[in-house]
Amino acid sequence: MPSASRASYASFTTGDDLLVEFRKWPATLHYRVTAVFLGADEFGAWVGSMKGRPVDRGAGRRPNVVSEDWVSFLPYGRGWAARWYARQAAAGRASRYSCYVDITTPARLDEHGVHLVDLDLDVVRTWDGAVEVLDEDEFQEHRRVLGYPEPIVKSALRSVADVREAMTAGTCPFDGEEAGRRVSSSAAYDEFRLRHSDAPLS
């Protein structure tokens, strides 16, 4: 299955449901959530979800729910997926991080939805603006135990470096501008812009 491209999303209309599924190497379900398609541009696709939507974590694992409204960017042919939270939550990722980037295999799209393999590493921005890399120990352990192929390892480490640099510099999409326009909760729009962008509110 080839990496997703702009043409891959041509059959979707803004507002359509779109399954987003993350797996652990090589194919174990990590979680899946039905998101809302928010559009695609020349760089990637945008999806969003609302607080309270169910999150399927697979057989034998307790289901979860989305802790806060979020919008996510899935770049074409790149090994990461970024998520911005509309506001700080009381629990979960959104309680600690305003932006959370999973390092993954490139997104692939089929008739069932979007599929990515999570490669453990994460690059995050905390609510006070610090940029951090998470789960480096887990990545090294899984690299050994699960036998990540060397091209996958090199791609993941390159993605970490690229995302950390862009997030620290606040370059697109980590300036929050496009994410603000795509945010799934219109009620959160102004607050979202204030938290995720240096640009003045329009």
Quick one: what percent of the chain has pLDDT higher than 90?
Answer: 71
Domains of the chain: 6-194 (2.40.380.10)
When pLDDT is cut at 50, 70 and 90, the band that residue 202 belongs to is very low
Average pLDDT over residues 89-113: 95
Structure-model confidence comparison of residues 200 and 71, the more confident one: 71
What's the pLDDT score for residue 180? Answer: 78
When pLDDT is cut at 50, 70 and 90, the band that residue 197 belongs to is low
- In DSSP notation, the chain reads -PBP-GGGGTT--TT-EEEEEEEETTTEEEEEEEEEEEEE-SSEEEEEE-TT-EEE--TTS--EE--S-EEEEEETT-SEEEEEESS--SSSHHHHEEEEEEEESPPEEETTEEEEEEEEEEEEEETTS-EEEE-HHHHHHHIIIII--HHHHHHHHHHHHHHHHHHHHT-TTTTSHHHHHH-S-GGGHHHHHHHH-SSPP-
**Any bridge partners for residue 117, and if so which?**
23
Average pLDDT over residues 154-161: 99
Residue 189 has pLDDT above 70, yes or no: no
Using one digit for the tens of pLDDT, what is the confidence trace for 125-147?
999 999 999 999 999 999 999 99
Question: Looking at the whole model, is its pTM more than 0.85?
Answer: yes
Average pLDDT over residues 18-36: 96
- State how far the Cα of 108 lies from the Cα of 197, in Å rounded to an integer: 29
The number of C-alpha atoms within 13 Å of 81 and in the hemisphere containing its C-beta is 26
- State how far the Cα of 44 lies from the Cα of 188, in Å rounded to an integer: 23
Average pLDDT over residues 37-63: 90
Residue 21 has pLDDT above 70, yes or no: yes
